Amino acid sequence: MITLSHVSKWYQTFQVLKDCSTEIAKGEVVVVCGPSGSGKSTLIKCVNGLEPFQQGTITVAETSVGDRRTNLPKLRARIGMVFQHFELFPHLSVMRNLVLAQIKVLGRSNEESEQRGMRLLNRVGLREHASKFPGQLSGGQQQRVAIARALAMDPIAMLFDEPTSALDPEMINEVLDVMVALAKDGMTMMVVTHEMGFARKVAHRVVFMDEGRIIEDAPTADFFDKPRSDRAQTFLSKILQH
């Protein structure tokens, strides 16, 4: 479904991604982890073309992301993305956040969009908040709305960029629960996160990055029990302390 092949990216003269290659099959859940500055956020933003890259190829459902002829908005409509800082549109109500792209990008009718929106709000447990505004919701609630907003587009895959890093500890679980349910429903997911509990629960594979390179790419169990590289071992030992 998603293929990254020898992807490299430079900011001016600084190389932020070095020859990254990996694959995510349909229905797979892949967790990308690593220390700060390892390039994992940049990598995931390249997958839907929010960040350009200079070398290599990225293909999503047989469409090449880097190709100049690719219709990026159309491609992005098929991939859902959830951001670290939620990025709900503050001037629109929760329901308007959910229906805006459905109407303007997919051309759905108002009624159909709102129906889907309500179904998804129900799914993430926020049905009563449809007419509230993002500023009136807690962080965990906002992030769940953000997930619903992405799902409203009926994506073939979902990208998560550190979805719980900006949340207070007591709200992390409500968001992770939604993501676990999504994974169990068979969604193809690429998740950048530090939440190793989540990885162990639903991830099929774990990709470990450091300094722009993919150091390890292994099935979950193998990654946690027998990490091959020193860097991964150090990282795991530090992060699993708490």
Partner 1 sequence: MNYNWNWGIFFQTSPDGVHTYLETLLLGTGWTLATALAAWCLALTFGSLVGVARTTPYPWLARFGQAYVELFRNIPLLVQMFLWYFVLPEVLPVHVGDWLKQLPDASFYTAVVALGFYTSARVAEQVRAGILSLARGQQMAALALGLTQPQSYLYVLLPMAYRIILPPLTSEFLNCIKNSSVALTIGLMELTARARAMQEMSFQVFEAFTAATVIYIVINIAVTYGMRWIERYAAVPGLLGAPPPVATH
The contact set with partner 1 (CB under 8 A) reads 45, 48, 50, 72-81, 83-85, 87-91, 100-101, 104-106, 125, 128, 132-138, 141, 146, 149-150, 153
Least distance CB 199 / partner 1 (angstroms) = 23
> Of 170 and 230, which CB lies nearer to partner 1 in the complex structure?
170
> Of 39 and 80, which CB lies nearer to partner 1 in the complex structure?
80
Least distance CB 91 / partner 1 (angstroms) = 5
Query: What does the H/E/C string look like for the chain?
Result: CEEEEEEEEEECCEEEEEEEEEEECCCCEEEEECCCCCCHHHHHHHHCCCCCCCEEEEEECCEECCCCCCCHHHHHHHEEEECCCCCCCCCCCHHHHHHHHHHHCCCCCHHHHHHHHHHHHHHCCCHHHCCCCHHHCCHHHHHHHHHHHHHCCCCCEEEEECCCCCCCHHHHHHHHHHHHHHHHCCCEEEEECCCHHHHHHHCCEEEEEECCEEEEEEEHHHHHHCCCCHHHHHHHHHHCCC
> Of 103 and 118, which CB lies nearer to partner 1 in the complex structure?
103
Least distance CB 103 / partner 1 (angstroms) = 10
Residue the block writes with tokens 């900006």: 166
> Of 127 and 238, which CB lies nearer to partner 1 in the complex structure?
127
Distance CA 217, CA 33 (A): 10
Least distance CB 236 / partner 1 (angstroms) = 30
Least distance CB 84 / partner 1 (angstroms) = 8
Task: Give the amino acid at 4.
Answer: L
> Of 36 and 107, which CB lies nearer to partner 1 in the complex structure?
107
Least distance CB 22 / partner 1 (angstroms) = 21
Least distance CB 240 / partner 1 (angstroms) = 30
> Of 17 and 82, which CB lies nearer to partner 1 in the complex structure?
82
Cβ contacts of residue 235 below 8 Å, gap of 6+?
33, 34, 35, 208, 210
> Of 26 and 85, which CB lies nearer to partner 1 in the complex structure?
85
